Amino acid sequence: MTSLSTARDRYNAANSLLCLLQALEGRVAVVELRNEMAVKGLISQVDGFMNVSLQNATVQGNDDHHYHFEEFFVKARNIRYVQIPEDIDITEAIKNQLEGKPKAHKTDMSSTTKAKLARKRQKETLKFIQQQQQAEKNEIEPQPPGTSQETDE
Amino acid sequence: MADENETSAPVITVEEPLDLIRLSLDERIYVKMRNERELRGRLHAYDQHLNMVLGEVEETVTTVEIDEETYEEVYRTTKRNIPMLFVRGDGVILVSPPMRGSV
């Protein structure tokens, strides 16, 4: 379904109501254009800019003749309305659409440069703290071992 | 010590104009569109472009015709009903609660 979509397409779709139109892919709907024409057909693809490709489309303009096209492409700007079939539940459709999208990044982030750098810094900080504690310990015990010593910690 | 804070209603923050539309979710609204069109329907969804999904919507198209003989303007309205409609945001001029006396 999203065979040709770029990351920009997917971002646009996931952050607007485009995902609802994409949920209509495979369904028959009526697209009303700005030039008063109506196209009824099977929505084959909706891209990130809302361009719509339809198959098996019938175009009708103000009770003019009907024109039939196997493939029909509508540029996004020309869409005024899309009549959604009544048997579609909006929230359900959007949820399914968004869950089906592949994740944009791998979930295991431990081998990224950022993570490696963070671990390196952590080691250095721990080493530094250890040296601090060592230095404090050395200052506290000026007496040779054998005499009673109090542990502060 | 006063107990006023305990009986306060849930706070709805309105920070930007789009939040005003959020207040109308699932309510009937009036949408004025370009090309002398108006929609009245129930707002199911909207987004930042003002793409909207309206249910049980009535579209009113207003046309002005000039009568050739009397030269007066005749306003005609054409209405139609659509059960569920997706509206592209770039055609929307304004969104409002339905006006009194004409729901």
> Residue A124 pLDDT > 70, yes or no?
yes
> Residue B55 pLDDT > 90, yes or no?
yes
Strands B92-96 and B52-66: unpaired
Of A16, A20, A94, the CB nearest to B48: A16
What percentage of chain A exceeds 90 in pLDDT? 54
Across A132-139, average pLDDT = 92
pLDDT classification of A146: cutoffs 50, 70, 90: low
- Are A39 and A54 a contacting pair, CB within 8 Å? yes
The pLDDT score that the predictor gives to residue A112 is: 86
Q: Which amino acid is present at A146?
A: G
d(CA B51, CA A80): 10
Q: Residue B24: left (phi > 0), alpha (psi -120 to 50), or beta?
A: alpha
| Chain A CB within 8 Å of residue B80 CB | no
The domain in which residue B80 lies consists of 27-90
Contact B45 A88 (CB under 8 A): no
CB atoms within 10 A of CB A101: 15
| Chain A CB within 8 Å of residue B27 CB | no
B87: Cβ contacts below 8 Å, ≥ 6 apart: A80, A81, B31, B33, B39, B51, B52, B53, B54
pLDDT 10s digits, A53-96? 999 999 998 777 899 999 999 999 999 999 999 899 988 888 88
Number of domains in chain B: 1
Give domain status of residue B8, yes or no. no
A85: Cβ contacts below 8 Å, ≥ 6 apart: A24, A27, A28, A29, B84
Helix (H, G, I), strand (E, B) or coil at B95: strand
Give domain status of residue B35, yes or no. yes
- Are A22 and A46 a contacting pair, CB within 8 Å? yes
The pLDDT score that the predictor gives to residue A143 is: 61
pLDDT 10s digits, A16-38? 999 999 899 999 999 999 998 99
The pLDDT score that the predictor gives to residue A150 is: 55
Give domain status of residue B46, yes or no. yes
Contact A81 B52 (CB under 8 A): no
The pLDDT score that the predictor gives to residue A105 is: 66
Q: Which amino acid is present at A70?
A: E
Judging contacts by C-beta atoms under 8 Å, the chain B residues touching residue A85 are 84
Give domain status of residue B3, yes or no. no
Locate the chain B residue with the closest alpha carbon to A76: B88
The pLDDT score that the predictor gives to residue A103 is: 63
The model's pTM: 0.71
Across B28-37, average pLDDT = 95
Contact A80 B51 (CB under 8 A): no
The pLDDT score that the predictor gives to residue A74 is: 96
> Residue B5 pLDDT > 70, yes or no?
no
> Residue B35 pLDDT > 90, yes or no?
yes
Site from A81, A89, A94 to mutate, B interface, most B CB atoms within 10 angstroms: A81
Contact A88 B84 (CB under 8 A): yes
Contact A80 B91 (CB under 8 A): yes
Give domain status of residue B49, yes or no. yes
A35: Cβ contacts below 8 Å, ≥ 6 apart: A61, A78
The pLDDT score that the predictor gives to residue A8 is: 83
Angle at B52 between CA A46 and CA A64, to 5 degrees: 65
The pLDDT score that the predictor gives to residue A151 is: 55
- Are A110 and A117 a contacting pair, CB within 8 Å? no
Name the interface residues of A facing B (CB cutoff 8 Å).
15-18, 20-21, 34, 50, 76-77, 79-86, 88, 90, 94
Give domain status of residue B85, yes or no. yes
The pLDDT score that the predictor gives to residue A148 is: 54
A143: Cβ contacts below 8 Å, ≥ 6 apart: A149
The pLDDT score that the predictor gives to residue A1 is: 41
pLDDT classification of B103: cutoffs 50, 70, 90: very low
Task: For residue B73, report the phi and psi dihedrals to the nearest 5 degrees.
Answer: -85, 130
Contact A34 B91 (CB under 8 A): yes
Q: Tell me, what CATH number does B38's domain have? A: 2.30.30.100
Q: What is the dihedral of CA A8, A9, A12, A14, to 10 degrees?
A: -110
Give domain status of residue B42, yes or no. yes
The pLDDT score that the predictor gives to residue A4 is: 64
Give domain status of residue B78, yes or no. yes
Tell me the count of A-B CB pairs closer than 8 A: 52
Site from A84, A89, A90 to mutate, B interface, most B CB atoms within 10 angstroms: A84
> Residue B49 pLDDT > 70, yes or no?
yes
> Residue A51 pLDDT > 90, yes or no?
yes
